[in-house]
Structure 1
Amino acid sequence: MSQRVVLGLSGGVDSAVAAYMLKKQGYDVICVFMRNWDSQLNNDILGNPTNNDPVCSQEMDYNDAKAVADALGLELKRVDFIKEYWDHVFTYFLDEYGKGRTPNPDILCNKEIKFKAFLQYAEELDADYIATGHYARVEHRDGDDVMLRGVDGNKDQTYFLCQLNQHQLKKSLFPIGELTKPEVRQIAHDLHLPVADKKDSTGICFIGERDFREFLKNYIPAKPGKIVDYATKKVIGEHQGIMYYTIGQRRGLEIGGKGGPWFVIGKEYDQNILYVASGDSNQWLLSDEALITGVNWISSTKPEGDFDCTAKFRYRQKDNDVSIRFINEDTIYVTFKKPIKAVTPGQAAVFYDGEVCLGGGTIDKVYHNNKELEYL
């Protein structure tokens, strides 16, 4: 009897080819489309009768998923995780933005929805495994299960999977992890799949592509405030809400003609101040140490003492040589071998040993020359 795999079929080309690969390998495949966002329902939760949030593209994605399932002769189910997404992902996303930090909801979405709520649903269907269209690989071993980078270095998504635990990995398959994106596209074309040329999705996990500032205004009222030159402490402009700006940002500050060029170096949430600077950005944005909290270490054993590895402090960043040391169960102190630019509190730090993704956590504090960069 073949093993049963429940696949998250999103309506995109990656999960479509993943479905084909699983069927080709002889698995009993059930496809599931996850619906995790409802603009009107989420607006009602806030008690806000005015909704400027446009209709999400999920219905179009569902239709694409149905067309793929039909083309491959597979069953497609539909399941709602709207409440779970709101409770465990979106409220955190709003809280962090409200504090002036820049969170990564995709990481939490994978942890709480795609590999938790979805896994629980799949287990109710007597699934042996769940599968997704992520560019990652997993080695199922007798001891620890290990997550490896996807073969396609340009598409590797282990950064977003750094919070998965041993149970989640043990039950997961990544059918396209050994393929490159061009190979995935070619397979979809060879099979005449209706999504072969569908563009890759971008934007917030499950919420999709939209005007980000307008979207946030539905949930966090815009609060204009002062733009301050950190060096002189002089007010040089007005921002539209500190949640809209990221560390290192140069465009969209609307303070041209006042010296510069200017770039964002920090935020003071309590005073609603956006700090900017001009000149050599390295003076303000370089750091050499960081404190990482909420760390998920994928292996069941943690390194003792100082451990050399590499780290990414944002997606698509090149690997940085670092040394890490656990200071308690879920907190790591990181020392950079060379200073790194724009390491930003609220964003994710993910650690690697060669091809192996070790885990990751949230950047909490950043230091330079033994001094905390408090303006971050």
Structure 2
Amino acid sequence: MRVLAAMSGGVDSAVAAARAVEAGHDVTGVHLALSAKPGTLRKGARGCCTVEDSRDARRAADMLGIPFYVWDFAERFNEEVIETFVGEYAAGRTPNPCMTCNEKIKFEALLEKAVALGFDAVSTGHYARLSHESGVPELRRSRDESKDQSYVLASLTPQQLRHAMFPLGDSLKSEVREEAERRDLAVARKPDSHDICFIPDGDTRSFLESRLGQRPGDMVDADSGEVLAQHSGVHGFTVGQRKGLGIDKPAADGRPRYVLSLEPVSGTVTVGSADRLGVTEIEATRPVWPSERALDGPTECVAQIRAHGETGRAVAEMTEDGFRVRLHEPMRGVAPGQSVVLYRPEDEGDLVLGSAKISATR
């Protein structure tokens, strides 16, 4: 098979490319340039999308003896990922930019170009598995539960999965690093990528304020309706947030306050005690079914709402524009804009049924 290996400059994608070569595929490496101004992306050899990452990817490709190219996806990345991220926060929602990047850049823009150029598959260093027992590729959790990335891949379509390869799905991270050392890859001990690549200093609030400006509003107590403070914009907060609220007055009961909801039109941030954070019902829209297994009536499942967050048993059923999830036990920190991913509870809940964007909670 002709395989295009997406090489971020980190250890995972380098070993994934090496395994594709070892399997006998005709492999070409490609690094995605995601910024017209690379200096605006995070620095420090983190393994994602900086100039130094591009150089590390090229060195790995040279070691593997495969052709290597850099493709400029900066304009599309800005439009599909950064602008979407800013717009979602402005609307009072909490997006996952890595999930958007996987969906729109790595498995839409990249795959479209790869197929047009005659490649059969795109290989990445994601920790996830593909199985074919049902006759179609089905997305499953990786063997390494601590590194599992099936959540951020759950927005991929069956057609995209047919052209996907995840060579690391059955490996532990420690095994991948050991293999990189055996192969003399310079990235063997390179730190993993963390946080958001297009926010170099990690200050999301300042980044959003630079794009959206200040949009002052009230911070209101959920119980009393009292205005506790003023803030510069709902985009500076997420549901479940405890720190950085800017409230000087302690709660009457002395317990910490958390963000309970955001109202972008009025600019109201509502806060309250932790016991108000529990969510038992989730409404989600724009569903994607990677396994081609849409829900057939009320279905027992395992729900996950963050990339490495807790999971909960639930019952999901279709609605007019998505699906509804009723959790058996309350979950905290569930916010509109996040994705909810459903797993089949059999086989230890490792098969992805579907995903959708959270639109409302109760």
**Offset of 1:293 from its aligned partner?**
0.5
Task: Pick the aligned partner of 1:275 from 267, 270, 273.
Answer: 270
User: Aligned partners of 1:193, 1:270: CA distance in 2, in Å?
Assistant: 52
Task: Pick the aligned partner of 1:179 from 168, 171, 178.
Answer: 171
CA contact (8 A) 1:203 1:209 kept: no
Task: Pick the aligned partner of 1:350 from 331, 335, 341.
Answer: 341
Give 1:103-252 correspondences, 5 Å limit. Answer: 103-140=95-132, 143-204=135-196, 210-252=202-244
Task: Pick the aligned partner of 2:70 from 74, 78, 92.
Answer: 78
Instruction: Specify whether residues 289 and 341 from structure 1 end up closer, same or farther in structure 2 by C-alpha distance, changes over 3 A only.
Output: same
Task: Pick the aligned partner of 1:338 from 329, 335, 342.
Answer: 329
Letter paired with 2:220: V
Does residue 1:316 correspond to 2:308, yes or no? yes
CA contact (8 A) 2:158 2:290 kept: yes
User: Aligned partners of 1:223, 1:206: CA distance in 2, in Å?
Assistant: 22
**Offset of 1:96 from its aligned partner?**
0.8
Letter paired with 2:335: T
User: Aligned partners of 2:42, 2:139: CA distance in 1, in Å?
Assistant: 32
Q: Partner of 2:36 in structure 1?
A: 38
User: Aligned partners of 1:142, 1:188: CA distance in 2, in Å?
Assistant: 33
Point out the more displaced range, 19-28 or 335-344.
Answer: 335-344
Q: Partner of 2:13 in structure 1?
A: 15
Q: Deviations over 1:57-77 (max 9, x none)?
A: 411111111111112222111
Q: Partner of 2:47 in structure 1?
A: none
Give 1:19-98 correspondences, 5 Å limit. Answer: 19-39=17-37, 54=40, 56-57=42-43, 58-98=50-90
Q: Partner of 1:6 in structure 2?
A: 4
Secondary structure of the residue that 1:305 maps to in structure 2?
Answer: coil
Point out the more displaced range, 125-134 or 233-242.
Answer: 233-242
User: Aligned partners of 1:223, 1:39: CA distance in 2, in Å?
Assistant: 28
Q: Deviations over 1:84-121 (max 9, x none)?
A: 22333332222111112111122221111101110112
Secondary structure of the residue that 1:218 maps to in structure 2?
Answer: helix
User: Aligned partners of 2:286, 2:197: CA distance in 1, in Å?
Assistant: 20
CA contact (8 A) 2:240 2:334 kept: no
Instruction: Specify whether residues 102 and 255 from structure 1 end up closer, same or farther in structure 2 by C-alpha distance, changes over 3 A only.
Output: same
**Offset of 1:358 from its aligned partner?**
1.2
**Offset of 1:331 from its aligned partner?**
0.5
RMSD of equivalent CA atoms? 1.9
Q: Partner of 2:46 in structure 1?
A: none
Instruction: Specify whether residues 271 and 331 from structure 1 end up closer, same or farther in structure 2 by C-alpha distance, changes over 3 A only.
Output: same
User: Aligned partners of 1:301, 1:256: CA distance in 2, in Å?
Assistant: 50
Does residue 1:303 correspond to 2:295, yes or no? yes
CA contact (8 A) 1:227 1:238 kept: yes
CA contact (8 A) 2:290 2:353 kept: yes
Q: Partner of 1:286 in structure 2?
A: 278
Q: Deviations over 1:350-376 (max 9, x none)?
A: 000121111201111112xxxxxxxxx
CA contact (8 A) 2:90 2:235 kept: yes
Instruction: Specify whether residues 242 and 13 from structure 1 end up closer, same or farther in structure 2 by C-alpha distance, changes over 3 A only.
Output: same
CA contact (8 A) 2:300 2:313 kept: yes
* TM-score, structure 1 normalization: 0.88
**Offset of 1:209 from its aligned partner?**
5.7
Q: Deviations over 1:295-352 (max 9, x none)?
A: 1012334232111111101222232111111123x50011111222222111110000
User: Aligned partners of 1:133, 1:33: CA distance in 2, in Å?
Assistant: 13
User: Aligned partners of 1:344, 1:75: CA distance in 2, in Å?
Assistant: 43
User: Aligned partners of 2:216, 2:187: CA distance in 1, in Å?
Assistant: 42
User: Aligned partners of 1:120, 1:208: CA distance in 2, in Å?
Assistant: 29
**Offset of 1:10 from its aligned partner?**
0.3
CA contact (8 A) 2:293 2:353 kept: no
Q: How many pairs were matched up?
A: 349
Letter paired with 1:113: I
User: Aligned partners of 2:212, 2:37: CA distance in 1, in Å?
Assistant: 15
User: Aligned partners of 1:166, 1:4: CA distance in 2, in Å?
Assistant: 20
User: Aligned partners of 2:269, 2:156: CA distance in 1, in Å?
Assistant: 34
CA contact (8 A) 2:42 2:197 kept: no
User: Aligned partners of 1:167, 1:275: CA distance in 2, in Å?
Assistant: 42
Question: Unpaired runs of 5+ in structure 2?
Answer: 44-49
User: Aligned partners of 1:90, 1:63: CA distance in 2, in Å?
Assistant: 24
Instruction: Specify whether residues 209 and 9 from structure 1 end up closer, same or farther in structure 2 by C-alpha distance, changes over 3 A only.
Output: farther
Does residue 1:363 correspond to 2:355, yes or no? no
